[in-house]
Structure 1
Amino acid sequence: MCGRFTFQPSDNSEINKIYQLAVDNGYDPKIGEVFPTDQTAIVKSGQNQVQVVTMKWGFPGFKSGQNIINARSESIMQKPMFADSFLNRRCVYPTTGFFEWSKDKIKHRFNYGTDSETLYIAGCYNIFNGEARSVLLTTAPNESMIKIHDRMPLILQKNQIKSWIYDQNFAIDFLKSEMPQLISTPLTN
């Protein structure tokens, strides 16, 4: 389960461009460490091309104040809460890495390397009481993740973003994709 990620425009030129697109479109995405319910930058379909907006991270849960922040890729099409969103409103979370906590409560940062590289996470969204809200998709962990956590985000390459957003067959097939190997950096703070 991915419960935190980073969106750090000052550390990454690609993320800085995405941030600027959001700001130019009138949005104010959370920067730094992003928590559930924050307004986060999201890439979604636009009229002629993808666009960058912000959305609250998390669908409303079944109890008051509850937020559902992740959806399992293996069962997303069978879950009434997520199926229509996945089939019709896919999006992408641009990040500079994500965090997981080990069983011994050590916080680990994950990315392709030790730098703040751009890491894209697959998601979907829906509208609740007039507000757009999103969830990110998780999948079974690969070797780089399994010692820390039993889930990992569904990670897209930059050249797969448009296909994920616009091509339903690609998106359905991608749910079963192998995830890239990542580097874990334990954090002491």
Structure 2
Amino acid sequence: MCGRYVLIATEQQIIDHFSLRRLANYQPDYNIPPGQKILNVVQLEDGSNKAVYLHWGLIPSWSKDRGIGNRLINARAETLAEKPSFRAAYRKRRCLIPATGFYEWHRTESGKQPYHIHYPDNRLFAFAGLWEHWENETETVYSCTIVTTGADAKIASIHDRMPVVIRPEQYLDWLDKKSEAVDVLSFDQSAAYHDMRLTPVSNRVNNPAHNDADCLT
């Protein structure tokens, strides 16, 4: 799964990397938890990219209770086309979720050891994401989820799941609004994760209230 991640790129780096016209209200974040608004990149009708902030925890449009989002922070790549919670978004509302790293916890005899998983230079990459629009009589919520898949050999040493990473040359394929038949399992995760590092960090990251460079120590 992916339940906490990092985005510490500069505003200009994000604009350039994702071909954005502008990026408002951005602040680097060392410890991003579910349940808050996170940066997403979506494709507009004219084919351009736009930065939006969506609630992390997908709320299906048909749900009567927005609380379902607490259980849908991740979506399994293997069943996106089948699950009622995700299949419509998979066809029509795919997005990119910018990141510079993510955290995973490995169970040991002495407790859970957190790892920061990232490229050596902490360069930008993107998770495959889905987004949804939900509303009732009193509120409207735009929400998202991070797509995960079975871990490759490297990540499997600490966890059995990992987020699907979309490489830059594949961004347009994933975002393409004209295509409803994008096979998420066709994106080569061995290539995407090849250069990533697994760096053990302190338990400071366990508390989502901690949001500073010490989370990566």
Q: TM-score per shorter chain, which class?
A: 0.7 to 0.9
1:103 aligns with one of 100, 104, 107? 107
- Equivalent position of 1:144 in the other structure: 154
Matched residues, number? 183
- Equivalent position of 2:42 in the other structure: 44
Note if 1:159 corresponds to 2:160.
no
Root mean square deviation, CA, Å = 2.5
Q: Deviations over 1:107-158 (max 9, x none)?
A: 1011122x32112100111111121100010011111100111100100111
Aligned partners of 1:103, 1:178: CA distance in 2, in Å?
A: 27
1:116 aligns with one of 106, 118, 122? 122
| Unmatched segments (≥5 aa) in structure 2 | 205-217
Offset of residue 32 of structure 1: 3.0
Offset of residue 171 of structure 1: 2.4
For the structure 1 residues 79 and 29, does the alpha-carbon distance in structure 2 shift closer, same or farther, using more than 3 Å as the test?
farther
Aligned partners of 1:133, 1:169: CA distance in 2, in Å?
A: 20
Aligned partners of 1:30, 1:131: CA distance in 2, in Å?
A: 23
Aligned partners of 1:51, 1:145: CA distance in 2, in Å?
A: 31
- Superposed counterparts of 1:8-27, under 5 Å: 8-10=8-10, 14-15=13-14, 21-23=22-24, 27=25
Q: Which has the larger radius of gyration?
A: 2
2:88 aligns with one of 84, 88, 92? 84
Amino acid across the alignment from 2:122: S
Q: Deviations over 1:23-81 (max 9, x none)?
A: 0xxx5567332110111110001132111111011124987745110000001111000
Aligned partners of 1:93, 1:78: CA distance in 2, in Å?
A: 22
TM-score (norm 1): 0.86
Amino acid across the alignment from 1:58: G
| Unmatched segments (≥5 aa) in structure 1 | none
Task: State the SS of the aligned residue for 1:14.
Answer: helix
Contact 1:6 1:34 in 2 (8 A): yes
TM-score (norm 2): 0.75
Contact 2:8 2:29 in 1 (8 A): yes
